[in-house]
């Protein structure tokens, strides 16, 4: 591979001045080629609105990358879709820049987190919901069924904390997590970690490592309220537009034909992360038992043995995207598999033109304390245009 920061593609075939609306494609590609998110202030680990850090998540896209992808390849007022939305980094950034951001994900943790960001409640509403939760937990914490907790989960919490977690879980499942998505997202973030806000014994805030230390009672509603307060301290951008979130499978996106102006997404890197295992406690809280998680594992795209699954995915992308509009995928070179190179034929067969692939050496990226960073040491942007 040549210098990973060079454009490795057919950029030269894009005519100078070629435009779609006010987006000059050659200029946009040239700007992205400089990897602008690597420069201050965008290079800061904490760049962006606090909502970007509402819920920790493995391999989450850097907010500043989402910022530039939305900024360079879409316009205000347009509809930007992320069909692998994760915790909503791209849809939220789209909404923050005056676009209508839509996020889809089959993972309920991802769906609730995305919805919390693109359809945030008023401060008054979330505080009212917090009071309802407090009343429910106080009334039901002594009558919860510990049989609803997986055996492993019981090792993470003081008995009284677990009582309150189970009561809170029942509250969200009874009254619809979707209707309380912001409160639920904050709760998901504090379920485990290594800081004082975490409800668990000492673990990790992204991947629940086996807990250590003493069993200490943590008041659930109090710590949740503090998390909510921190999250709401900063106002939303003045250009913020409320978006939409769907819990949906990528092969059946709940959007109309030719209704999307731009697709920006970062699908799971092939075979590189076991998202179910890394999110197992938070998924349990969302209502997915360990048994259900095991049953769902084969359906998650990162666990597919053959990347030919993308054939149908690009057909679906082609269906929802407007003619001549752009699809940008943030991918990786995983071991010997160059995802962009491997996926391009499937995209072209579905009616897309390959505009560019841009590589970035990520071998020195911050590990955030995770020991196994997988086999990915180059990230890449695959840029496509619907032409038929």
- Note the pLDDT tens digit of each residue in 210-262: 999 999 999 999 999 999 999 999 999 999 999 999 999 999 999 999 999 99
pLDDT-derived band at 134, boundaries 50, 70, 90: very high
User: Residue 124 pLDDT more than 70?
Assistant: yes
pLDDT, one tens digit per residue, over 157-186 is 999 999 999 999 999 999 988 889 999 999
pTM of the predicted structure, to 2 decimals:
0.92
135 and 88 fall within a common domain: no
Please give the average per-residue pLDDT across 49-75, as a whole number.
96
pLDDT-derived band at 270, boundaries 50, 70, 90: confident
213 and 331 fall within a common domain: no
User: Residue 87 pLDDT more than 70?
Assistant: yes
Residues whose CB is less than 8 angstroms from the CB of residue 383 and which lie 6 or more positions away in sequence, other chains included: 9, 29, 32, 73, 326, 327, 328, 354, 355, 356, 357, 358
pLDDT-derived band at 6, boundaries 50, 70, 90: very low
371 and 321 fall within a common domain: yes
Q: CA geometry: angle at 335 spanning 330 and 340, to 5°?
A: 35
- Token look-up 């942007």 returns 381
Long-range contacts of 253-256 (CB under 8 A, 24+ apart): 253/81, 253/83, 253/104, 253/316, 253/319, 253/320, 254/104, 255/81, 255/102, 255/320, 256/320
Residues whose CB is less than 8 angstroms from the CB of residue 273 and which lie 6 or more positions away in sequence, other chains included: 58, 59, 302, 374
Name the domain boundary from 201, 231, 261.
231
User: Residue 323 pLDDT more than 70?
Assistant: yes
320 is a domain residue: yes
Q: What is the DSSP letter of 53?
A: G
Name the domain boundary from 200, 231, 262.
231
| Domain total of the chain | 2
266 and 353 fall within a common domain: yes
Q: How far apart are CA 46 and CA 372, in angstroms?
A: 22
278 is a domain residue: no
129 is a domain residue: yes
253 and 331 fall within a common domain: yes
Name the domain boundary from 231, 262, 291.
231
Pairing type for strands 321-334 and 376-386 reads antiparallel
146 is a domain residue: yes
pLDDT-derived band at 21, boundaries 50, 70, 90: low
43 and 102 fall within a common domain: yes
Q: Which of 166-175, 295-304, 307-316, 324-333 has the lowest mean pLDDT?
A: 295-304
- The residue among 252 and 23 whose pLDDT is bigger is 252
236 is a domain residue: no
298 is a domain residue: no
Average pLDDT value for the chain: 91
140 and 25 fall within a common domain: no
Give the whole-number percent of the chain exceeding pLDDT 90: 83
Q: Which range of residues forms the domain containing residue 192? A: 123-231
User: Residue 14 pLDDT more than 70?
Assistant: no
127 and 157 fall within a common domain: yes
241 is a domain residue: no
224 and 257 fall within a common domain: no
213 and 260 fall within a common domain: no
Residues whose CB is less than 8 angstroms from the CB of residue 321 and which lie 6 or more positions away in sequence, other chains included: 258, 260, 262, 263, 327, 386
290 is a domain residue: no
User: Residue 302 pLDDT more than 90?
Assistant: no
82 and 139 fall within a common domain: no
At 226 the three-state DSSP class reads: helix
347 and 369 fall within a common domain: yes
């Amino acid at each position: 591979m040549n210098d990973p920061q060079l454009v490795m593609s057919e950029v030269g075939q894009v005519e100078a001045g070629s435009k779609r609306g006010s987006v000059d494609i050659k200029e946009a590609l040239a700007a992205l080629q400089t990897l602008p998110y690597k420069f201050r202030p965008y290079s800061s680990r904490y760049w962006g609105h606090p909502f970007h850090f509402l819920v920790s998540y493995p391999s989450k896209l850097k907010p500043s990358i989402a910022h530039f992808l939305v900024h360079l390849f879409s316009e205000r007022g347009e509809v930007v879709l992320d069909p692998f939305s994760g915790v909503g980094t791209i849809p939220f950034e789209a909404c923050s820049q005056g676009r209508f951001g839509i996020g889809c994900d089959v993972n309920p943790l991802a769906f609730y987190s995305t919805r919390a960001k693109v359809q945030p409640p008023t401060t008054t509403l979330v505080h009212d919901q917090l009071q309802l939760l407090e009343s429910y937990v106080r009334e039901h914490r002594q009558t919860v069924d510990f049989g609803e907790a997986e055996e492993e989960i019981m090792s993470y919490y003081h008995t009284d904390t677990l009582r309150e977690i189970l009561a809170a879980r029942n509250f969200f499942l009874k009254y619809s997590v979707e209707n309380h998505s912001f409160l639920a997202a904050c709760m998901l973030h504090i379920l485990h970690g290594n800081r004082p806000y975490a409800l668990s014994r000492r673990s990790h805030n992204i991947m629940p490592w086996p807990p250590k230390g003493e069993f200490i009672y943590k008041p659930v509603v109090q710590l949740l309220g503090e998390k909510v307060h921190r999250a709401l301290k900063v106002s939303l951008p003045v250009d913020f537009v409320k978006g939409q979130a769907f819990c949906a499978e990528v092969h059946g996106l709940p959007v109309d034909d030719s209704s999307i102006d731009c697709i920006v997404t970062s699908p799971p890197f092939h075979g590189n992360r076991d998202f179910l295992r890394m999110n197992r406690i938070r998924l349990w809280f969302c209502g997915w038992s360990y048994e259900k998680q095991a049953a769902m594992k084969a359906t998650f795209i990162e666990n597919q043995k053959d990347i030919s699954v993308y054939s149908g995915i690009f057909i679906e992308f082609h269906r929802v995207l407007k003619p001549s509009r752009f699809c940008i995928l943030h991918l990786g070179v995983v071991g010997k598999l160059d995802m962009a190179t491997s996926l391009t034929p499937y995209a072209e067969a579905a009616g897309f033109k390959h505009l560019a692939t841009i590589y970035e050496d990520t071998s020195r990226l911050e590990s955030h304390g995770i020991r196994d960073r997988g086999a990915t040491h180059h990230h890449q942007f695959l840029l496509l245009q619907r032409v038929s």
